[in-house]
Amino acid sequence: MLSRPLFRFVRDDRRINFMRGRHMGLIVSAVLSIASVILFFQPGLKLGLDFRGGIIVEAQTPGPADFGKLRAALDHAGIHPDAVQAFGSPRDVRISINAPEGADREAQTQKLVDGVKSAISAAEPGTQVLRADAVGASVSTELFRDGLLALGFSLAMILIYIWIRFEREFAISAVVTLVLDLTKTVGFLAITRFEFDLVMVAALLTILGYSTNDKVVVYDRIRENLRKYRTMPLRELLDLSINETLNRTLGTSMTVFLAALPLALFGGSTLTGFATVMLFGIVVGTSSSIFIAAPLLLLMGEKRLRKEAVAD
Amino acid sequence: MMYYSRLRLLGVAGICLIGVLLCLPNFLRSPAPSLPWRQIHLGLDLRGGSYLLLQLDLKSLEHDRLQSLQDQARQTLLDRSLGYRDFARDDATASLSFMPRSDAERDAALKAMQSLPPVVPNEFTTSEKDGRIVLTLQHEAMLARAREAVAQSIEIVRRRIDATGAIDPSIAREGDDRIVVELPGVSDPERIKSLLGTTARLTFRLLAPNPSVASPGSTMLEDESVHTQVAVQDHVDVDGTDLTNAGAVIDQQSGGWAVTFQLNSAGARAFANVTRANVGKRFAIVLDNKVIEAPNIINPITAGNGQITGGFNARSASDLALLLRAGALPAPLSVVEQRTIGPSLGAASIHAGIISLLTGLLLVIVFMVLFYGRFGLYADIALFANLILMVAILSLFQATLTLPGMAGMLLTLGMAVDANILINERIREEVKRGRGPLQALQAGFDRATGTIIDSNATAFLAHVMLFVFGTGPVRNFALTITIGIVTTLFTTLLLSRLLVVRWYALARPKELPV
């Protein structure tokens, strides 16, 4: 039973002419990315607690939650929440409050969280606090800055590494492709209204790392073929390289997809958003390896790649 | 390189065995406390508990230092009989300034200021502006002071938290002026927050001659026992640093709660001197700029012990005693971030994490067997070893595992098989090209290795950056992936290759199952 693989994504001798669709691929990708940039500004990302500051208290009431009663209790305590909503089961309540304004806002934020907790446990005795987070305004600004810094440095390291290991054309095409991938993922975040927080930054970076990994493998094969078939037209050579690595590209995407899928399904509130964005990123990253990264090389021009491959 | 030396074989097997042994403590109880029993710590999001980020009040530190610098400066000018007028303190610019009595004394006054001993190097600068002499605290030096103050505060915070009976707390510095406190199992951190939010600087000072109005050298403070403002002298007669012990007791006379304290010999002497010289006057007990009570001195107190009765209940009396025993903070701390996870949510997260991890692992294992047959099975064995080694390394460093960390492990497992896929695809290509089994294996492994290292190096770099610049949940995620990349290289380049080579040596197949 173990002697042969039971299935393959594509037959080994299959030669799909990917380059024929290159203009289409680039246009579709550019349109999606531009749309994503527009979505980034309008309506914009929904910032999570980490980045906007404020309070979230999640609690479980003993019976089905009576929202009117809870709202009244909070109102009575002088607390005006921005949202009192259900999540998960009918017993679960989430109360969120934006960071207060004013000079004393740091202390206010911390006081509010205690106020919310005591108000709801007085209104519904036996209420269990599942989670109570309060992030001050100064901390959230720092967290946001650190998150973007991490993203920027990672992108820079990837660029430098590919530049050193490959030629300039490869590095530029890779980074252009990655930026296209990243913008689409940001657009996805804007549409789905998943909260953008620290964990999401980690998701973006993982997508970035994964997508790079995919491109490196295809580029590696292109570089090898450039040396092997010195007279083959570049267009044909790119098609050959993509086809040769196609089973690997799809196979690896499949395993990462399968690994992330359970997280999206059973990961709980913290990880569902993270894993869903990962799944989206895997699909985008895989398709861009095939339809964007190699066609960009073709645009860079055959002559330059050939010359460097020969000189190498 | 299709031959594995015995040494290499034993090496790979040995590492796997060590990995298994290092994993074991996570599932067993320590047989003896003396054994080096290293386990993975579960993060607060998994076991439930509270996370507090405390910020040292740098402004207050500056304010206090300006005040003491002002006292020093006045004393020095007095000692050198140099006159001054209009001595001003400006907290906004962190500076002091005064006008020398005459132009002739300006140089001497400036010299006197330059001779003041700094607490840390380059603490302040002295300059002249519009005829005034200006002393300005330097931001860099204040940060150095803040670092020192944070180190002291950590000690005091630890003592206060230990006294509450919290189990296994972790207290660490973050940056220049912050402290992270993690309290596993504490789902209601209000008491600890209020304990940490109190500076607990206890001072004993005389009231001003006319306690109803502020006069130079005194400040109006709130008297909590009667809720009025009283003028208390700025001069501190006895300071809480001289305290050796404090305890909560029931007052014999009133029957209410009180806090007793014991002073060391220096404090007792000072206390005796003040009370002897001021019998009949009122002596204020001041805690963090609030007067707890201001009783009349009836008799000189010479034994160095006393009692504070300020309308306490059992909780507030024992908390104050606890704070006094633990010592005062060098500057106020305020909570700027708080995260609390209830125990039920933590348990649910562990459950979700483990279910996801196992399901993901199973899906990948099945996929690999379907896609690559026998070699897929070998990849699965390597994958399993990978998981064990990751847990082993995390245990070895007694690292903390959080929910994002578990996600990192799962993603590592998804990506780890990439290396096996690369190798298998290569071998398959070589077979299609008409090479014999041995040559195909050889060429497949050799050619795939370069690609594997390239693709893992980029991921490694990206996640190291994430670890260095990330905070909180992101760091743990990056840590597990970084460790995972290292174990992946070992399990694919050495272990799964070894399995294939051993199989080939034993079975000598005519064709490869690719």
Query: CB contact, 8 Å: A104 with chain B?
Result: no
Query: How close A163 comes to chain B (CA, Å)?
Result: 11
A240 near B CB under 8 A: no
Whether residue A131 lies within 8 A of chain B, CB to CB, comes out as: yes
Mean pLDDT of B147-172: 90
Closest Cα in chain B to A114: B190
Contacts B348 to A, Cβ<8 Å: 268
- The model's confidence at residue A156, banded by pLDDT at 50, 70 and 90, is confident
Which residues of chain B neighbour A220 with C-beta distances below 8 Å?
Answer: 450-451, 454-455
What superfamily in CATH does domain A18-48+140-311 come from?
Answer: Multidrug efflux transporter AcrB transmembrane domain (1.20.1640.10)
Pairing of strands B202-206, B283-287: antiparallel
- Residue B250 pLDDT exceeds 70: yes
Most trustworthy range by pLDDT among A4-8, A163-167, A280-284:
A280-284
Contacts of A23 (CB under 8 A, 6+ apart): none
Closest chain A residue to B190, measured at CA = A114
Portion of chain B with pLDDT greater than 90, in percent: 21
The reported pLDDT for the residue numbered A277 is 94
pLDDT at B391 over 90: yes
List CB contacts (< 8 A) between A134 and chain B.
Answer: 335, 337-339
Residue A279 has pLDDT above 60, yes or no: yes
Per-residue pLDDT at A310 exceeds 60: no
Q: Which 3 state secondary structure label does DSSP give A263?
A: helix
Contacts of A50 in chain B (CB under 8 A): 472
Which class for B457: exposed (0-12), middle (13-18), buried (19 or more C-beta within 10 A)? middle
User: Cα(B159)–Cα(B163) distance, rounded to whole angstroms?
Assistant: 6
Q: Name the pLDDT band for B385 (thresholds 50, 70, 90).
A: very high
Which tokens go with B106?
Answer: 């300006």
Q: What is the spatial distance between Cα B88 and Cα B24, in angstroms, rounded to a whole number?
A: 67
Q: What is the per-residue pLDDT across B166-209, written as a single tens digit (0 to 9) for each? A: 888 999 998 888 999 999 988 888 888 888 888 888 899 998 88
Question: Is the pLDDT assigned to residue A205 strictly greater than 90?
Answer: no
Helical (H) or strand (E) element with B317: helix B314-326
Question: DSSP for A165-211?
Answer: HS-HHHHHHHHHHHHHHHHHHHHHHHHHT-EE-HHHHHHHHHHHHHH
- Contacts across the A-B interface (CB distance below 8 Å): 253
Contact A205 B404 (CB under 8 A): no
Query: Using the beta-carbon criterion (under 8 Å), do B411 and A158 form an inter-chain contact?
Result: no
Question: Which of A154, A160, A182, A278 is the best substitution to test chain B (most B C-beta atoms within 10 A)?
Answer: A154
Higher pLDDT: B33 or A144? It is A144
Residue A2 pLDDT level (bands cut at 50, 70, 90): low
Helices (H) and strands (E) in chain B, counts: 13, 19
Q: Do B334 and A60 touch (CB under 8 A)?
A: no
Look at residue B2 and tell me whether its pLDDT is greater than 70. Answer: no
Of B399, B409, B395, the closest CA to residue B488 belongs to: B409
For residue range A21-67, list pLDDT tens digits in order: 888 889 999 999 999 999 999 888 988 888 888 899 998 888 888 88
Segment B157-171 shows an average pLDDT of 89
Average pLDDT (B489-501) is: 90
**Interface-testing mutation among B44, B176, B474, with chain A (most A C-beta atoms within 10 A):** B474
- B377, A2 in Cβ contact below 8 A? yes
Question: A305 CB contacts (<8 Å, ≥6 apart)?
Answer: A167, A169, A226, A234, A297
Q: CB of A257 within 8 A of CB of A145?
A: no
At position A153, the amino acid (one-letter code) is F
> What ipTM score was computed for the predicted complex, to two decimals?
0.86
What is the distance, to the nearest Å, from the Cα of residue B509 to the centroid of all Cα atoms in its chain?
A: 59
Which residue in A has a C-alpha nearest to residue B374's C-alpha?
A2
Min Cα–Cα distance to chain A from B495, Å: 19
Query: Which chain A residues have a beta carbon less than 8 Å from that of B364?
Result: 255, 258-259
* pLDDT tops 60 at residue B344: yes
- With beta carbons under 8 A apart, name residues in chain A contacting B361: 259
The answer to whether residues A201 and A151 touch, using CB atoms and an 8 Å cutoff, is yes
Res. B254: pLDDT tops 90: no
Answer whether A52's CB lies under 8 Å from A195's CB: no
Closest residue in chain A to residue B425, using alpha carbons only: A248
Residue A287 banded pLDDT, cuts 50, 70, 90: very high
User: Percent of chain B, pLDDT > 70?
Assistant: 99
DSSP assigned state of B105? G
pLDDT > 90? residue B486: yes
Which residue's structure tokens are 């021009």?
A301
What average pLDDT does range B325-335 have in this prediction? 88
Yes or no: domain A54-135 corresponds to CATH 3.20.20.140: no
**pLDDT per residue over A247-259, tens digit each?**
999 999 999 999 9
| Calculated CA dihedral for residues B75, B76, B81, B82, nearest 10 degrees | -110
The predicted pLDDT at position B241 comes to: 85
**pLDDT reported for residue A120:** 87
The two tokens of residue B235 are 């001069």
Query: Phi and psi for A74 in degrees, rounded to 5?
Result: -65, -40
Cβ distance A271 to B352 less than 8 Å, yes or no, reads yes
Residues of B with CB below 8 A from A240's CB?
A: none
Residues 2-31 of A with CB under 8 A from B: 2-8, 12
A311 confidence band (pLDDT: 50, 70, 90): very low
CA B231 to chain centre: 39
Report domain extents, chain A.
18-48+140-311, 54-135
Judging contacts by C-beta atoms under 8 Å, the chain B residues touching residue A7 are: 370-371
Classified as helix, coil or strand, B310 is strand
Does B335 contact A4 at a Cβ distance shorter than 8 Å? Answer: no
Does the structure show a pLDDT above 80 at B416? yes
Burial of B379 (0-12, 13-18, 19+ CB in 10 A): buried
Residues of B in contact with A131 (CB under 8 A): 339-342, 345
The per-residue pLDDT for range B281-303, each reduced to its tens digit, is 889 999 888 898 888 888 888 88
User: What is the per-residue pLDDT for A312?
Assistant: 47
Q: Which has the minimum average pLDDT: B94-103, B209-218, B248-257, B294-303?
A: B209-218
Q: Does A272 touch chain B (CB under 8 A)?
A: no
DSSP state of A262: H
Which span out of A277-286, B60-69, B236-245 was modeled with the highest average pLDDT?
A: A277-286
* Mean per-residue pLDDT over chain B, rounded: 87
